[in-house]
A = this chain, B = another copy of it.
Amino acid sequence: MVGKLLEPEIREMIAQRDFNALRTGFLEWPPADLAELLTDLPQEEQVIIFRVLPSSVAADTFEYLDVDVQTRLIHAMGQEQVAAILNEMSPDDRTTLLEELPANVVSQLLRLLTPRERAVAQSLLNYPESSVGRLMTPNFVSVRESWTVAQVLDHIRRHGADSETLNVIYVVDEAGHLVDDVRINEFLLKPLETEVRLLHGGKVPPLKVTDLESEAVEIFRKYDRTVLPVVDSDEKLLGIVTVDDVLDVAVEETTEDIQKLGAVEALDEPYLDVSLWKLVRKRAVWLVVLFVGEMLTATAMGVFEEQIARAVVLALFVPLIISSGGNSGSQATTLIIRAMALGEVRLRDWWRVMRREVQAGFFLGCILAVIGFARITIWTLFSKQYGPHGMLVGATVSLSLVGVVLWGTLAGSMLPFILRRLGLDPATSSAPFVATLVDVTGLIIYFSIATTVLRGTLL
């Protein structure tokens, strides 16, 4: 960390084309910082800097770039330079890049790899999208149960340089089946003559190569591990997955959930990188669906047009009432969807949740009813706007609020369960979706109550 060059000095060196100084200066920088700096530079300078860096540092830095920056660089760099970087990249990060590229580019790039790396890259790309295989790297250290700690340390010293991590060492049998995973601590702390079979293993169930990435996220979170082994259906050890890649998947999944909650289809890219056209498309779908659903409110209001004509005062409270239902529904659906995503609430809990939400919805409705009633009553005392039957209007609004908030809460909390039961993503029951549903039914609740309460007076 000492002697690290500051950013202005670096920019100055680039401007001066002082590549030797740059090269030395950069070696003091963590690759993540280098990647951040590079992202801000024009592409020609990015290419130059990558040419200046030793290829292992270049590959490390390249791995930290966003996939779209990587893609543009691949096209801008010379073949030799691309080959050097691709061959040095970790297999898992390389898969992440290759899976975003069109098939013809991928086959061009594969030809630049050494036969060994090409075989690795191809086998990883053969696993289905979003499967653990796509996150995996086959570079790990495996040892035998019968070896001693001293033999293992010697083996690591000779064959461990390529391994993605040495934090965990894998014990396999002759056929390559996973027997156990042992943290490096054991090898560093136990006497050198201890046999591997006597060491304290992880006992954590391995990932299956065909598991979904989202399942891997849950297992990492549950067991607090930094790396997990991956096996095939035969329990044969194929590779390892590290926590940093899983963390990226978790962040992506949460982003998708949040976007869905806001009634946007998952963008799959950083907001500012998405084209305007794609941004509109990802939002238009749901906006139109909700709009068409919301048209039913015009139909519902049409049914009650006569009542509105006779008592225009009723129309004034329509937005207040339906939005209260929508808001309480948004609250409920948000809470339940997040609790489901974290595994705090499972399908079988629906009855417990419903009981709580009915009570919560009733209380919340009563709170709003009291405030609404007070507002209308006080207004009636000082103004003639609500006519001679202000108190009755107040009663209508209050009763409707209890009904609509209760209904909104119930709908918002139960919809995620229904969607999950149907095998759909609970996050589809977005806040706007629940609000739309509640708007239509809320109108019917309101006008039905109005018809009953105001019969003989206003209606």
Chain A: residues with CB nearer than 8 A to chain B? 1-2, 4, 28-30, 32, 36, 64, 153, 156-157, 160-161, 163, 165-167, 179-180, 183-185, 188-189, 201-205, 221-224, 226, 243-244, 247, 251, 254-255, 257-259, 261-264, 267, 270-272, 276, 279-280, 283-284, 286-288, 290-292, 294-295, 297-298, 301-302, 305, 308-309, 312-313, 315-320, 322-324, 326-328, 330-331, 333-339, 342, 344-345, 349, 352-353, 356, 359-360, 363-364, 367-368, 371-372, 375, 385, 405, 431-432, 435-436, 439, 443
Contact = CB atoms under 8 A, between A and B. Distances in A.
B189 A263 contact: no
Q: Copies per complex? A: 2
Contacts of A323: 290, 294, 297, 322, 326, 432, 435-436, 439
A108 to B, nearest CB: 28
Nearest to A343: B270
Given A203-B30, A271-B344, A280-B360, A166 B185 contact: yes
A290 B324 CA distance: 8
Contacts of A257: 258
Given A29-B203, A330-B432, A331-B262, A308 B318 contact: no
A223 B32 contact: yes
A205 B4 CA distance: 11
A120 B247 CA distance: 30
A322 B326 CA distance: 12
Contacts of A264: 331, 334-335
10 contacts: A32-B224, A166-B188, A258-B261, A259-B334, A263-B331, A271-B353, A272-B339, A279-B356, A283-B331, A327-B432
Contacts of A318: 301, 315, 318-319
